[in-house]
A = this chain, B = another copy of it.
């Protein structure tokens, strides 16, 4: 029997990264900190600017998807991924994405690289209805290897108190709607790059840019103003895979029974990775999750108007902090369980 690969084998230790993030969180519990509003899942930090208004802030990168972009000599869409990673996170606290800044560090500034990157960032900002308002370009000889660079994004969203998504309203029986991804997005690439090797025709597909869910979701957040239970929580499926849904509310669980189609790229990876590890690492065809206390049809219809496929994928359960997934892989049904 073949040895299955885990994300840790690929050099990424999510558990240790998590514990570092926890420590960071504790370290930042300082006097002024209590003034922040608590947005669902810690997807973004929410800083009030008045009694009723706040701004949401988040930062993210695109991980080793960058290396794929360099290898394929195609940097035109990696900026879309960068904006997507930040903008989709802002939605999860109920914020409307507003502005974006980028940090671009490289060993030696290369005009054609820089232009391609910026092109993608501008395209991403268009898709996310955001303004590119600034950035830092750092030339750091000796730190980055020949042709290598890193990019990070910083995004700002705005929201009123009534728009804040805390996840607290999520209750047993609520509907879980899955919104389709278009492939691997920007997570699990360190593992995927090792399994879909250079020369494999699928390797090019790993570079497909992450879906930006902003426009339809902002529309849903508007509809929510007159109907708060329409959207009770939003989870962006990123690092940590489907476990991200558990961040929304620790008191409940989530039972997934009717899954979205799994893009072929994941089947190719699946041959070498255990099924539960797949769901812990990748989006498996579902890039965003919306929890609703209402009938799902208006949500699905709104998403469709913006060209996005979605469907009811499950229910909120009373199994706290437990995520169960009934997969129909290979004709058999198997339930896998993930915990936070």
Contacts and interface: CB of A to CB of B under 8 A. Distances in A.
Interface residues of A, number: 69
Nearest to A65: B140
Given A20-B111, A122-B27, A103 B152 contact: yes
A140 B44 contact: no
A298 interface: no
A36 interface: yes
A137 interface: yes
A143 B148 contact: yes
Contact of A61 (B33, B45, B63, B136): B136
Contacts of A256: none
Given A44-B134, A139-B190, 17 more contacts: A11-B141, A20-B109, A23-B118, A24-B135, A24-B137, A27-B118, A27-B122, A42-B134, A49-B53, A49-B158, A57-B133, A57-B154, A60-B136, A61-B138, A64-B142, A66-B143, A105-B150
A58 interface: yes
20 contacts: A21-B135, A27-B122, A28-B132, A30-B131, A33-B131, A44-B134, A45-B133, A47-B133, A49-B158, A50-B50, A55-B156, A57-B99, A57-B134, A59-B102, A61-B105, A64-B140, A64-B141, A103-B103, A152-B152, A154-B154
Contacts of A148: 143
B11 A134 contact: no
Interface in A40-86: 42, 44-45, 47, 49-50, 53, 55, 57-61, 63-64, 66-67
A5 interface: no
A195 interface: no
B111 A190 contact: no
Interface string A148-165: 101010101010000000
A32 interface: yes
Nearest to A19: B111
Contacts of A28: 122, 131-134
Contacts of A133: 28, 33, 36, 45, 47, 57
A64 B108 CA distance: 13
Interface-central residue, A45, A108, A145, A152, by most chain B CB under 10 Å: A152
Given A63-B140, A143-B67, A143-B150, A58 B134 contact: yes
Interface-central residue, A58, A111, A135, by most chain B CB under 10 Å: A135
B58 A12 contact: no
Contacts of A53: 49-50
